[in-house]
């Protein structure tokens, strides 16, 4: 067993972000306005890091980074606040042509992460065929099955990440992450697809406690994929982190209706 897998990986959000740099391809876990690593995103916004390629099932993480001018390219299946369908800061930045966009089907996105996790250049997938995805992404290619059926598939390229940011309910100091909510999303794939991964959590616990609170199957993120662990209570707020807390609809509405410079001046001071 390697020392890297048995070491104490705890650090602060600022320490995690200090290991990132401009120009990276950065994956951000969660889904829409659900279990987003907002404490890590806030630390990223406080830094000078920019020119990012962001890969995300997008929510306010994408909206805030777009409003702050940190995104050079976005790879996403959608960007939404869930209860507020259109993420306003993303929409404004997109309408202004502020960054390059690669928009793909949700299943294609997952398959791109899975290909990267398995260190494959691409994986074949049926999703996207017969849709405008192929038209708006002319760089996509198809492959033909080498077997008797000769079926055609989209060759979804790997979404390889330099770093990933994810948030879960519980973690230990080694980097094992536990999801107690009803949907794991694809946070494990984000970590596996990345060269480095930073895991924030509501609470750091002893390894033995991870199986006391829930079934072993809830151990979503494996320690060998994690570089750093950040204890961040309420670290997904204002997005949800079930069952610890739901989405703060009032706070989300303030975000969606307040001009970004005014909102950012307050938001970036919180937890400083």
pLDDT digits (tens, 9 = 90+) for 150-172: 999 999 999 999 999 999 999 99
Number of domains in the chain: 1
Structural domain boundaries enclosing 240: 3-263
158 occurs within a structural domain: yes
- Report the mean per-residue pLDDT for the chain: 94
Report the CATH number at residue 164: 3.40.1080.10
Q: What is residue 239's predicted lDDT score, i.e. its pLDDT?
A: 98
26 occurs within a structural domain: yes
Radius of gyration of the chain (CA): 18
269 occurs within a structural domain: no
Helix axes 60-67, 260-267, angle to 10 degrees: 110
pLDDT digits (tens, 9 = 90+) for 95-136: 999 999 999 999 999 999 999 999 999 999 999 998 999 999
70 occurs within a structural domain: yes
Q: What is residue 47's predicted lDDT score, i.e. its pLDDT?
A: 97
Burial of 155 (0-12, 13-18, 19+ CB in 10 A): middle
Q: What is residue 262's predicted lDDT score, i.e. its pLDDT?
A: 96
Residues of the chain with pLDDT under 70: 1-5, 213-214, 216, 271-272
272 occurs within a structural domain: no
148 occurs within a structural domain: yes
Phi, psi of 176 (to 5 degrees): -75, 125
216 occurs within a structural domain: yes
236 occurs within a structural domain: yes
């Amino acid at each position: 067993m390697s020392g890297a897998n048995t070491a104490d990986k705890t650090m602060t959000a600022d320490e995690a972000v200090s290991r990132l740099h401009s120009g990276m391809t950065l994956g951000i876990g969660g889904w829409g306005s659900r279990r987003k690593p907002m404490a890590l995103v806030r630390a990223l916004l406080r830094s000078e890091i920019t020119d990012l390629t962001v890969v995300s099932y997008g929510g306010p993480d994408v909206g805030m980074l777009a409003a702050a001018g940190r995104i050079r390219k976005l790879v996403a299946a959608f960007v939404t606040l869930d209860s507020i369908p259109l993420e306003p800061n993303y929409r404004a930045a997109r309408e202004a042509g502020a960054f390059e966009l690669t928009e793909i089907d949700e299943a294609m996105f997952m398959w791109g992460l899975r290909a990267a996790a398995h260190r494959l250049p691409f994986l074949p997938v049926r999703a996207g065929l017969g849709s405008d995805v192929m038209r708006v992404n002319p760089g996509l290619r198809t492959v033909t099955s080498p077997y008797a059926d000769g079926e055609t598939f989209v060759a979804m390229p790997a979404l390889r990440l330099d770093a990933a940011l994810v948030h879960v309910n519980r973690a230990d100091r080694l980097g094992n992450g536990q999801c107690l909510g009803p949907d794991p999303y694809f946070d494990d794939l984000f970590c596996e697809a990345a060269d480095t991964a930073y895991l924030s959590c509501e609470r750091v616990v002893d390894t033995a406690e991870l199986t006391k609170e829930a079934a072993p199957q809830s151990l979503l993120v494996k320690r060998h994929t994690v570089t750093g662990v950040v204890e961040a209570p309420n670290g997904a707020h204002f997005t949800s982190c079930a069952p610890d807390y739901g989405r703060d609809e009032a706070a989300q509405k303030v975000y969606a209706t307040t001009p970004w410079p005014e909102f950012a001046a307050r938001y970036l001071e919180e937890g400083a």
